[in-house]
Amino acid sequence: MNADSAEPSGRRKFLATVAGAAAAASLGAADAGATGGERGSKRKWGMVIDLDKCTGCQGCVVACRAENNVPMGGQTESELDRAIYWMDMMTIAEGHYPELRVQFVPMPCNHCENPPCIKVCPVGATHISEEGIVAQIFTRCIGCRYCTTACPYTRRYFNWATPAWPEELKKTINPDVSVRSKGVVEKCTFCHQRIRAAKEKARAEDRPLTDADVCRLPACAASCPADAIAFGDLNDPESEVSRLARSPRALRLQEELGTHPKVIYLREAKWRE
């Protein structure tokens, strides 16, 4: 045993190994962030909806319904005004007949940066992801509807009855999105299943996720014939959403509430005060 001489060199070697491992780990983490890994990502998903382009065709509403397995509800539920819309088309009527103007406002979840809904959930069924998506874990939801009342935009829906689809539509259910049960809250997720698929595709092709990959990614954006909906990373100054968000036409709903919505609307005319 040559303990006296071996120990100092062993310690030095050990320290060097530890330092090297730590450096490699931190580099690895940074690398993962750059190539679109979930952890440590600096992305902030957002959406820009150009109301001046929107024709009110409701293509986004239908596409969202098909993509996200939004239940039909049936006649009874619809008559009770309980239909579910992750993407809803609101209308604002201005003026009086014959000088009547109708503004269409497609309304997905605003995915607020400071969402009032997640603070009130007693079981943590809703949370904000690292990339800014306000997500809902359907299987964790106990259906207290606190989030539904807390959302100032009323963008959360509740399954008042067992979700149902007509027989023909059952075959079209999207396997990427879980169907919900009676008694849970559901909402827009910015089509996170599509984002995940796009990330996997980019990773398989060994390239970073680009703005072109995601710009028309959510079902609503993909289906819009007027190209009124853009999606992307608000933290990337070069992305289309960032560019559009800097437009003087940009506005967010109920900004004074401090919720910081990540859905930005573009509109030329001044909004009705």
Partner 1 sequence: MGSGPPVIEPSYTVATVTDKISSVVLTRRTPVGWIIGFSVALLLTMTFLTAVLTLFAAGIGIWGVNVPVAWGFAIINFVWWIGIGHAGTLISAILLLMQQKWRQSINRFAEAMTLFAVLCAAVFPLLHLGRPKFFYWLFPYPSLHGVPPQFRSPLVWDVFAVATYFTVSLLFWYVGLLPDLATFRDCAKRKLAKIVYGVLAMGWRGSAIHWHRYDTAYLLLAGLATPLVVSVHTVVSFDFATSILPGWHTTLFPPYFVAGAIYSGFAMVLVLAIPLRAAYGLEGLITPRHLDNMAKIMLATGLIVDYGYVMEAFFAWYSGNEAERFMMINRMIGPYAPAFWATIACNGLAILALWFPRVRRNVPALFGIALLVLVGMWLERFFIVLTSLHRDFLPSSWGMYYPTIWDWATFAGTIGLFFTLLFLFIRFLPLISMFEVRALVEPKT
**86 touches partner 1 by CB under 8 A:** no
User: Which member of 26, 154, 212, 238 binds partner 1 (CB under 8 A)?
Assistant: 154
Using CA atoms, how far apart are residues 70 and 83, in angstroms rounded to an integer? Answer: 9
Residue number, 142 or 269, with CB nearest to partner 1: 142
Span near partner 1 by CB under 8 A; candidates 14-22, 37-45, 150-158, 203-211:
150-158
User: Which member of 136, 159, 189, 239 binds partner 1 (CB under 8 A)?
Assistant: 159
Using CA atoms, how far apart are residues 105 and 56, in angstroms rounded to an integer? Answer: 8
Residue number, 120 or 222, with CB nearest to partner 1: 120
**116 touches partner 1 by CB under 8 A:** yes
User: Which member of 95, 122, 175, 248 binds partner 1 (CB under 8 A)?
Assistant: 122
Using CA atoms, how far apart are residues 178 and 170, in angstroms rounded to an integer? Answer: 13
User: Which member of 57, 62, 72, 120 binds partner 1 (CB under 8 A)?
Assistant: 120
User: Which member of 63, 134, 185, 217 binds partner 1 (CB under 8 A)?
Assistant: 185
What residues are paired with 251 via a beta bridge?
265
Backbone φ and ψ of 219, nearest 5°:
-55, -40
Q: How far out from the chain centre does Cα 267 lie? A: 22
**102 touches partner 1 by CB under 8 A:** no
**152 touches partner 1 by CB under 8 A:** yes
User: Which member of 45, 86, 157, 231 binds partner 1 (CB under 8 A)?
Assistant: 157
**Sheet harboring 250-251: ordered strands across?**
229-233, 45-50, 263-266, 250-251
**164 touches partner 1 by CB under 8 A:** no
**104 touches partner 1 by CB under 8 A:** no
The footprint of partner 1 on this chain (CB under 8 A) covers a number of residues equal to 44
**265 touches partner 1 by CB under 8 A:** no
User: Which member of 140, 196, 201, 246 binds partner 1 (CB under 8 A)?
Assistant: 140
List interacting residues with partner 1 (CB under 8 A): 77, 80-82, 90-92, 105, 107, 116, 119-124, 140-146, 148-150, 152-154, 156-162, 181-185, 253-254, 257
